[in-house]
Amino acid sequence: METKSDYLIIGSGIAGLSLALKASQVGTVTIVTKKDKMDASTNFAQGGIASVLDPKDSFDLHIADTIESGAGLCNEEVVRMVVTNGPDMIRELISLGVNFSHNKKHAEKLDLTREGGHSRRRIVHTEDLTGQEVERSLIQNVERNKNITIYENHMAIDLITTSKSIKRGISTNETHETCWGAYILDINTGQVKTFLAKVTVIATGGAGKVYLYTTNPDIATGDGVAIGYRAGANVANMEFVQFHPTCLYHPMAKNFLISESVRGEGGRLIDKRGNHFMERYHPLKDLALRDIVARSIDAELKKSGDKCVYLDISHRPKDFIKTRFPNIYKRCLGLSIDITQKPIPVVPAAHYMCGGLLTDKHCRTNITNLYAIGEVACTGLHGANRLASNSLIEALVFAKSAFEDSAKMISDRGVYKFPPVPMWDTGSATDSDESVVVSHNWDEVRSTMWSYVGIVMTNKRLVRAKRRIELIQQEIKDYYWDFIITRDLLELRNLATVAELIITSATMRKESRGLHYNLDYPERDDKNWRHDTVI
């Protein structure tokens, strides 16, 4: 089966949906998403969206905070572009029906909160359910739009490119590697379909699932990075993985984040004995940047042998806690932790991928007609460490930029004839009766990465991880060609590729900077390493 449209957008998070709404003004848009349309990291974002909206704040301050966080690797032109477009993006969301929380004293104003690394209150939020509100509203607008078709349970496998056609004996006129769409697995039927498009956009989010402990939902398996990399797209800065310092530690709580704003509103980190420890690590104490807080907790846990530390907000008024953090309050209470009375057990967990498919400021990759937006892209905004709440705004600004760049091409092309493309070939693959191989390798990739390529690395640990991942990749390769593909197998193949890319990038960078911390090179080395790691 073959489907044709002007745009093929892979992913239904904030990046994919906001681009789709814009793109629908100039052409037909197909969105494919591998599970339910709401299954996206966007839906889990609690803290909010950073933007300069307070007269006491300024673009220059937001720019300075972002650059300070990025530890020498931010692209200043990109930072300026994101920050200065921020307020318009917030107004656009409001016009689409997003209900942000308003200030209790001045009801006409948006409520602005503060998070680690921000010198001013500038985080717009909807209580502690910002992402859910944004996702709800974007989906509602997409569903009303006649030019957009959304396919749930459709998973992108690989891109359709010039080289792929040539390999299969189809001649093309393109001299530069060009993308014409993607092969998509219909999860419900098992059929692989061909989706052709003038513009293909990867908006598949992050890769937190490559680690054993993560705040990310199950969809975050780094598919976009792996798919792009296999097609020849450049990948950058994969060593910069952000670990969120405070994920709820409880056997019944899978991936539940305790928002940074809890510390922004006065929450203090303490050990089992009630001792506040952040003052020993940084002058900003609990409001230090995420990487510093995560490493401090890691050091405390290694020293004490404890399983978790605690985040205490119980000194703030009960009503304030309940109205400011209703979701966290409810979730913890469901696990018998009343956060108005006692501290919350927390551990660090993989949270955000600063690296990804390398793009320019128009979101173009090095493959013609292939764009990347949102967490999957490495745009130059975050550098070596993302500033809290800068990712949702990045996705919105870059969706606008991708639209402006690609719309010209869509209009110029008029009636477009797609070149002949090869159909998906299942070869002699059969159904597997041993899915244990897939689940075992899933676990092994994730624990290897957690143990050896986590918050603190060493050269030795990187070598060990490399060896193990290579072995797993060989097994996956054998398995891949023998058996009919499933979502689990595709995700495993992508996870292993992302693990390989993280290990390779981390091994290349012989210094410590931002989120990358190697005990064998503990110092930052601006002379040799003030540049991106590109694979």
Ligand X SMILES: Cc1cc2nc3c(=O)[nH]c(=O)nc-3n(C[C@H](O)[C@H](O)[C@H](O)COP(=O)(O)OP(=O)(O)OC[C@H]3O[C@@H](n4cnc5c(N)ncnc54)[C@H](O)[C@@H]3O)c2cc1C
Interface residue list for ligand X (CB under 6 A): 10-16, 32-35, 39-42, 44-49, 130-131, 155-156, 203-206, 215-216, 219, 223, 257, 352, 374-376, 389-392, 395
Q: Smallest distance from the beta carbon of 217 to ligand X, in angstroms?
A: 7
Nearer to ligand X, 309 or 373 (CB): 373
Note if 290 is an active site residue: yes
Nearer to ligand X, 258 or 462 (CB): 258
What is the DSSP annotation of 300-327? HHHHH--S-EEEE-TTS-HHHHHHHSHH
Active site residue: 290, 331, 468, 513, which one? 290
Q: Please, what is the minimum distance in Å from the beta carbon of residue 141 to ligand X?
A: 15
Minimum distance from CB of 270 to ligand X (Å)?
23
For the bound state, the minimum distance from the C-beta of residue 398 to ligand X, rounded and expressed in Å, comes to: 9
Which tokens is 482 given?
A: 């023998």
Cβ distance to ligand X smaller for residue 491 or 521: 491
Is the CB of 178 or the CB of 389 nearer to ligand X? 389
- At closest approach, how far in Å is the CB of 155 from ligand X? 4
Closest distance of CB 386 from ligand X, Å: 8
Closer of 115 and 532 to ligand X (Cβ) = 115
Tell me the closest approach of the beta carbon of residue 482 to ligand X, in angstroms: 21
21-44 residues labelled b (16+ CB within 10 A) or e (exposed): bbbbebbbbbbbbbbebbbbbbbb
Residue (228 or 343) nearer to ligand X, CB: 228
**The two structure tokens encoding residue 266:** 């006065």
How far, in Å, CA of 462 to CA of 476, rounded?
A: 21
What are the angstrom distances between the C-alpha of 16 and each of 131, 201, 340? Answer: 14, 8, 38
Closest-CA residue to 377 (of 504, 505, 233, 529): 233
Q: Pick between residue 386 and residue 466 the one whose CB is nearest to ligand X.
A: 386
SS3 198: strand
Where in 331-369 does DSSP place strands (E)?
Answer: 344-353, 356-358
172 — alpha (psi -120 to 50), left (phi > 0) or beta? beta
Report d(CA 222, CA 369) in Å as an integer. Answer: 21
- C-alpha separations of 158 from 25, 225, 497 in Å: 27, 11, 13
Amino acid identity of residue 526, one-letter, is: D
| Nearest by Cα to 401 from 155, 121, 82, 138 | 82
Nearer to ligand X, 75 or 379 (CB): 379
- Paired sense of beta strands 29-32 and 377-378, if any: unpaired
User: Burial of 72 by CB count in 10 Å (0-12 exposed, 13-18 middle, 19+ buried)?
Assistant: middle
Minimum gap (Å) between residue 135 Cβ and ligand X: 8
Q: What angle do CA 501, 350, 226 make, to 5 degrees?
A: 30
Whether residue 211 contacts residue 450, with contact meaning beta carbons closer than 8 Å, is answered with yes
Calpha distance 240→351 (Å, rounded): 11
HSE, CB side, 13 Å, CA atoms: give it for residue 497. Answer: 21
Active site residues: 290
